[in-house]
Chains A and B, each alone.
Chain A
Amino acid sequence: MLFRKKAWISTTSVAVVAALALAGCGGSKSTNDNTASTSANSQAATTSAGQASDKPKEAVTLTYTIWDQLQQPAMEAIAKEFTAQNPNIKVKVDVIPWGDYWTKMSAAAPAGTLPDVFWMHSGQFVKYASGNFLAPITDKVKAGEIDLNNYEANLGSIYTLGGQNYAIPKDFDTIGLAYNKDLFDKAGIPYPDGTWDYTKLAQAAKQLSQPDKGIYGFAAKMDTQTGYWNDMLANGGFIVSADGSKSGYDDPASIEALKARYQMILDKSSPTHQQMTDTDSTEMFKSGKVAMIFEGDWRTTDIDGSDIIKGKWNWAPLPKGKVKRGNIINGLGNVMSASGKHKAEAWQFLKFLGSKRAAEITAQMGAAIPAFKDTQAAWVKSKPQLNLQVFIDQAADAMPYPAGSKAYPVWFPKEGEIMAQAWGGKISIEEGAKQVAAMMNQAIANNK
């Protein structure tokens, strides 16, 4: 019966479809590792790659994940050069923006899907290293494959835990004062320089501001590394105590510094927090609406890309505070996943990322200040019209980023939520600082 037969065919086709659907679970591992190599012998081939160079190598694609889209071109240039030397290893550079990066990484870590090689931040490092999600490179260091003395002072030591090395230093960054020369000229105020202190900054900001025209002297933004952390340090306060046991937010000097910054909003020398939520403060600087802003060196290319202020701006060191010149130095590292499928190739790439050549590419493209010794000059020269030297000079007495604990990833996102209340005027600055301190101390106690 024709009718029967057709029904039988459609029944089987449903069964086949169902079987295919279920096979999706078992067979889908292959979609996961970004490469075409799923056969059993490819495993063997990949582990021996790197050592045995005479054997024909299997093509491998590594994923290199970073958070700064501005550095993507430089990272891709490095990857390209690496592939030219190692034709069997391709590298895909993925950008996950900073705001999502650690949320995504924390989802990927326990699932075993961390990228082969990725950027590590000193604040998050302990959490990932102590969870055994990073592949240690101690053996390679001992075997002399890489020399951590090649990198600027201490940068190699940030990423060690329990006597193991986990990262190769990539770059370091410090904070500078960006200023709009045009607005200074119009107001007849000399440009900021090394002699400036916070009083001078506040004065100049006041003079430069024309709130009715939407022009402000300074962006007193609610921000940590490129914001009030520098003020707190300069004023003699601290962020976390040296032994990492206590928050410094409720220290009187810290609170004073926070209040001074907020005062600039009250004085109308700075846009309000709401305005800076509607428009990112660096965007305001780029469109010539803010005369001065604290920013990290990594934003140089971005700011200079604005047609409105190109050629009309420069960098100066941060102002001196009551106690010292505050600044935060942070060193990024390249790490590899402990559960990567192609660790031998990943190591080859990691080593290349730590090479002098990679540092030179980074410097010449103006992407970041490379960690590799004696390559910084090239970075300073990458934009000769700008005084990039201030970032190198300030590195000497800058504070390391207040990280290196399991508590940091817990308190950091909450810090911003509480401080937003203070900056938005819902609670006083003092109240906000005290709440942050209590929250941080709790996080430190819970994450010993």
Chain B
Amino acid sequence: MNSRSRYVWAYIMIAPTLLGTVLFWTWPAIYSIYLSFLKSENFGMVNHWVGLANYERLFKDKEFWQDLRNTLYYAVLFVPLTLLFSTFFAVLLNAKIRGLSAYRVIFFLPQVTMPAAAAMVWVVLFARDYGLINHLLGTHVAWISDTRFAMFALVIVGVWGAIGFNMLLILAGLQGIPRALYEAAEIDGAVRFRKFRYITMPLLTPTLFFTTVVLMIGATQIFDSIYLLIGKTNVALPAVRSLVYAYYQNSFVYYDQNYGAAIVDILLVINLILTGLQFAFQKKWVFYD
């Protein structure tokens, strides 16, 4: 078969994905940037070009900086904690123990639970007066409506939901490490911790790296749990409101799609920076074989 007809086949085979991507994803991404330079009236039926006005307003808006701080703060708490717990449980489960598959199933359960439903049940668990958590801990904390605790409540819900999935990713990474390496180390008399430090960690870094990227990107897009766990009239909302929540409010509740587009375009820039940083650092500390 000549190569020209192979081209034709290739184009046919990529056509649906390519066209769909350009129409439904690439074009909207570009259009979102365009929208941030407009000011719309009457539900977006009339548009004027206003240049950078939306961004000027954004940079002067204290609320925006607060939302940005919240988003990054959430990511900084959520990502390391998730990694820590996931790695911890993955290492425990990597040992030859009984009931391994039962534990895996239980840890994975939050992953198959709709975040909307999970947020609703956490509201009940976190309630101050009749919540189970305060009851069990003997505390009297307004977890979700006290500015000091709301962020931790969100992180708890986030970590609870993320451990199972990431633990499995890391477990897969662990199981990819050749046993021979450990056996060699045992001959050298390495203790458990040193084995972990000098064999497991370096060989696990590609997996941890991948997991970190995915978690970071997910963390900066937090919305569901703020929308359903915290809610609109919660005094703690400003302390946890994320960029995506602000985007949703501005675009679809305050009828200001252009300001919303500016907010979400900042999120885009953050994501690009994060991805860039990750790949730059990747060369330095990831051991690929």
Contacts and interface: CB of A to CB of B under 8 A. Distances in A.
A383 B238 CA distance: 43
Contacts of B238: 417, 421, 426
Mostly, the B contact residues are: loop
A106 B234 contact: no
Contacts of B45: 110, 131
Contacts of B252: 103, 106-107
Interface in B220-270: 231-238, 249, 252-255
A273 B249 CA distance: 22
Nearest to A131: B42
A87 interface: no
B233 A130 contact: no
A274 B237 contact: no
Interface string B126-146: 011110000000000010011
Contacts of A426: 147, 235, 238
Contacts of A99: 232
Contacts of B42: 110, 130-131
Nearest to A222: B233
Interface in A108-151: 109-110, 130-131, 133
B253 A131 contact: no
Contacts of B147: 426
Interface in A218-263: 222
A421 B232 contact: no
A18 B18 CA distance: 13
A392 interface: no
A131 B235 contact: no
A275 interface: yes
A99 B233 CA distance: 11
Interface string A387-429: 0000000000000000000000110011011001101111000
B44 interface: yes
Contacts of A410: 254-255
A278 interface: yes
Contact of B235 (A21, A214, A420): A420
A277 B255 contact: no
B254 A414 contact: yes
Contacts of A414: 254
A277 B43 contact: no
Given A278-B127, A409-B255, A424 B43 contact: no
Contacts of A130: 42
B145 A278 contact: yes
Nearest to A447: B41
Nearest to B241: A417
B99 interface: no
B236 A424 contact: yes
Q: Residue among B16, B145, B236 with the most chain A CB within 10 A?
A: B145
A131 B40 CA distance: 12
A99 B236 CA distance: 19
B233 A416 contact: yes
B267 to A, nearest CB: 21
Contacts of B234: 277, 420, 424
A414 B232 CA distance: 10
B128 A275 contact: yes
Mostly, the A contact residues are: helix
A424 B255 contact: no
A414 B45 CA distance: 23
A413 B43 CA distance: 16
A154 to B, nearest CB: 28
A265 to B, nearest CB: 12
Contacts of B16: 18, 21
Contact of A277 (B44, B233, B249): B233
Contacts of A420: 232-235, 237
A379 B86 CA distance: 61
Contact of B145 (A131, A222, A274, A416): A274
Nearest to B230: A277
A421 B235 CA distance: 5
A275 B233 contact: no
A275 B145 CA distance: 9
A14 B282 CA distance: 40
Contacts of A214: 129
Contacts of B146: 274
Nearest to B127: A278
A416 B254 CA distance: 13
A421 B237 CA distance: 9
A420 B235 CA distance: 5
Q: Residue among A414, A420, A425 with the most chain B CB within 10 A?
A: A420
B11 to A, nearest CB: 14
B235 A413 contact: no
Contact of A416 (B43, B44, B130, B232): B232
A274 B142 contact: yes
Nearest to B46: A131
Nearest to A278: B127
A275 B129 contact: yes
Given A130-B42, A424-B145, A106 B232 contact: no
B212 to A, nearest CB: 34
Contacts of B127: 278
A277 B145 contact: yes
A437 to B, nearest CB: 17
Contacts of B233: 222, 277, 416-417, 420
Contacts of A274: 128, 142, 145-146, 235
A410 B255 CA distance: 7
Contacts of A103: 252-253
Nearest to B147: A426
A20 to B, nearest CB: 12
A409 B129 CA distance: 35
Contacts of A133: 43
A133 B146 CA distance: 42
A413 B254 CA distance: 7
Contact of A273 (B231, B232, B235, B255): B235
B126 to A, nearest CB: 9
A284 to B, nearest CB: 11
21 contacts: A18-B16, A99-B232, A103-B252, A103-B253, A109-B43, A110-B42, A110-B45, A130-B42, A131-B45, A273-B145, A274-B142, A274-B145, A277-B234, A277-B235, A278-B127, A417-B238, A420-B234, A423-B235, A424-B234, A424-B235, A426-B235
Given A106-B255, A277-B231, A424-B235, 9 more contacts: A131-B42, A131-B43, A274-B128, A274-B145, A275-B128, A278-B129, A278-B130, A278-B145, A417-B238
A-B pairs, top 8 by smallest CB distance, nearest first, are: A424-B235, A110-B43, A274-B145, A131-B42, A420-B233, A274-B142, A278-B127, A277-B145
